[in-house]
């Protein structure tokens, strides 16, 4: 239960680079990050629209610098734009061949929104509707915004949540390179190209916000595939009866490891962490800790779990950790156990010992409740260490002790819990 494994815990995925992430679980969710993306991009788009006409001195200096670049390099800039067009074609063809209807729906909706918004901005900035030549290639003098660029960005951004992580990153680099090439070809001004980029991203964010995105919730099939790629074969994979906010929980059986509990930190985990940090920033000034990526969250939880195990604290054994092809972070531990049940004979002293042992190695939990513990082989185990932090302050330790008092009172009643607490804290 608390012994360490001799093989590496964090493992890369096996060979193979799928274009699309694992099939979604069919549940579309509206994301906080999509809302923030939409608001920020629209705000910046309004700013750049106001700065685009008339051309500022800074932007004119950039335009003059670009004009001094030798024209024989235009073939390179055209190749950069062609790469973005080819990327859009690859997305459309792959989505059609693989019958990814949800991707095609997102792309179509994002295109409609991008065209409408870009046309509206163009009319507002220039006072007239753009011609087809201006919308497609910038015309003879360049267009602000460049509608074709906004549409290509919208397609790439709309499909991005459905792609595996490497291709997601590749798409972003292609978009940025094409935006630079558009400026170098003088198809748009520097601010016009940025405006086009922002409008494309805003269109995709609006679609994801309106229709929901399947990026936040992994499915059992994808979890099983990721575990197999990480070297852990499981069967009887099912969703855990109790789910935690921002984390997808599943249970399975392994022929070699027995009962396995799996945590998958997806996009929801990032959104939950963002909301938590905003809430703590409002109520506890200076109390927020640095934001962690999904990979860092799993690394942190795996590390503190193994640290606690090395000091003899009853925690689950970490089996494997890694990243899925969709960019979700995954942690698998042995045997979650059964939940605590209230009763007069519950040995709550063991719970106090676990919490005090954490404090002895300068760790605090910060969110202890009944779900933090389980019974495995008739022993109490601290099963959830996702909120554990190091270098604990005295106030944080007192918070843990107060939460432990509440947990034990629920289990055995206030009177007995108070007596045991007095003994443990003496």
Strands (E), 37-175: none
Residue 107 pLDDT > 60: yes
Residue with tokens 């007095």: 422
- Give the start-to-end residue ranges of the domains of the chain: 1-17+225-336, 32-211, 338-426
pLDDT band (50, 70, 90) for residue 277: low
Q: What is the DSSP string of 153-209?
A: HHHHHHHGGGB-HHHHHHHHHHHHHHHHHHHHTTSS-HHHHHHHHHHHHHHHHHHHH
The pLDDT score that the predictor gives to residue 275 is: 52
Give pLDDT tens digits for 333-363.
987 678 888 877 778 889 999 999 999 999 9
pLDDT band (50, 70, 90) for residue 2: very low
The pLDDT score that the predictor gives to residue 138 is: 84
Give pLDDT tens digits for 386-413.
888 887 788 888 999 999 999 999 998 8
Q: Characterize the bridge pairing of strands 329-334 and 318-323.
A: antiparallel
**Contact present, 332 and 248 (Cβ < 8 Å):** no
Radius of gyration of the chain (CA): 27
b/e 124-146 (16+ beta carbons within 10 angstroms → b): ebeeeebeeebbbbbeeebbbbb
**Domain 1-17+225-336 is found in CATH 1.10.1760:** no
**Domain 338-426 is found in CATH 3.30.530.20:** no
Closest listed residue to residue 342, CA positions, set 407, 416, 411: 411
Residue 377 pLDDT > 50: yes
The pLDDT score that the predictor gives to residue 329 is: 84
More confident residue, 58 or 198: 198
pLDDT band (50, 70, 90) for residue 38: very high
DSSP summary character for residue 29: B
Is 12 exposed, middle or buried, given 0-12, 13-18 or 19+ CB atoms closer than 10 A?
A: exposed
The pLDDT score that the predictor gives to residue 326 is: 66
Same topology, domains 1-17+225-336 and 338-426? Answer is no
Give pLDDT tens digits for 129-173.
998 988 888 887 778 899 999 999 999 999 998 888 789 899 999
Strands (E), 240-317: 247-254, 258-265
d(CA 239, CA 83): 41
Lowest mean pLDDT among 130-139, 210-219, 231-240: 210-219
Closest listed residue to residue 189, CA positions, set 48, 27, 37, 15: 48
Residue 1 pLDDT > 50: no
Q: Which residues pair with 376 in a beta bridge?
A: 379
> Which tokens hold the place of 47?
């700013």
> Which tokens hold the place of 245?
């906010």
> Which tokens hold the place of 19?
């274009």
Q: Characterize the bridge pairing of strands 373-376 and 389-390.
A: unpaired
């Amino acid at each position: 239960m608390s012994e360490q494994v001799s093989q590496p815990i964090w493992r890369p995925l096996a060979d193979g680079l799928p274009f699309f992430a694992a099939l979604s679980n069919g549940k579309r969710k509206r994301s906080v990050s999509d809302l923030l993306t939409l608001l920020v991009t629209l705000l910046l788009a309004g700013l750049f629209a106001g700065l685009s006409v008339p051309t500022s001195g800074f932007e004119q200096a950039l335009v003059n610098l670009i004009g001094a670049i030798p024209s024989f390099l235009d073939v390179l800039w055209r190749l950069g734009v062609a790469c973005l067009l080819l990327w859009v074609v690859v997305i459309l063809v792959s989505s059609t061949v693989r019958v990814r209807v949800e991707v095609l729906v997102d792309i179509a909706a994002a295109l409609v929104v991008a065209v409408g918004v870009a046309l509206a901005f163009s009319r507002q900035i220039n006072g007239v509707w753009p011609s087809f030549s201006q919308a497609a290639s910038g015309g003879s003098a360049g267009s602000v915004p460049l509608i074709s660029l906004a549409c290509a960005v919208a397609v790439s951004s709309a499909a991005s949540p459905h792609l595996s992580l490497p291709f997601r990153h590749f798409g972003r680099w292609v978009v940025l390179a094409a935006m630079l090439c558009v400026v170098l070809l003088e198809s748009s001004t520097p601010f016009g190209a940025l405006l086009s980029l922002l409008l494309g991203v805003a269109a995709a964010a609006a679609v994801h916000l309106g229709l929901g995105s399947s990026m936040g919730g992994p499915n059992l099939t994808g979890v099983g595939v990721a575990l197999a790629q990480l070297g852990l074969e499981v069967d009887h994979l099912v969703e855990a009866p109790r789910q935690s906010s921002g984390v997808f929980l599943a249970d399975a059986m392994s022929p070699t490891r027995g009962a396995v509990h799996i945590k998958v930190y997806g996009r929801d985990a990032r959104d939950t962490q963002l909301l938590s940090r905003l809430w703590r920033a409002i109520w506890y000034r200076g109390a927020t800790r640095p934001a962690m990526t999904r990979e860092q969250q799993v690394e942190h939880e795996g590390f503190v779990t193994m640290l606690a195990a090395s000091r003899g604290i009853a925690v689950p054994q970490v089996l494997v950790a890694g990243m899925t092809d969709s960019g979700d972070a995954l942690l698998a531990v042995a045997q979650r156990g059964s939940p605590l049940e209230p009763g007069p004979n519950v040995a709550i002293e063991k719970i106090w010992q676990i919490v005090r042992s954490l404090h002895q190695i300068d760790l605090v939990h910060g969110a202890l409740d009944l779900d933090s513990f389980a019974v495995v082989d008739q022993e109490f185990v601290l099963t959830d260490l996702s909120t554990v932090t190091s270098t604990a302050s005295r106030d944080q330790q007192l918070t843990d002790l107060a939460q432990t008092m509440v947990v034990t009172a629920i289990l055995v009643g206030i009177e007995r819990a108070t007596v045991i607490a007095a003994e443990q804290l003496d």
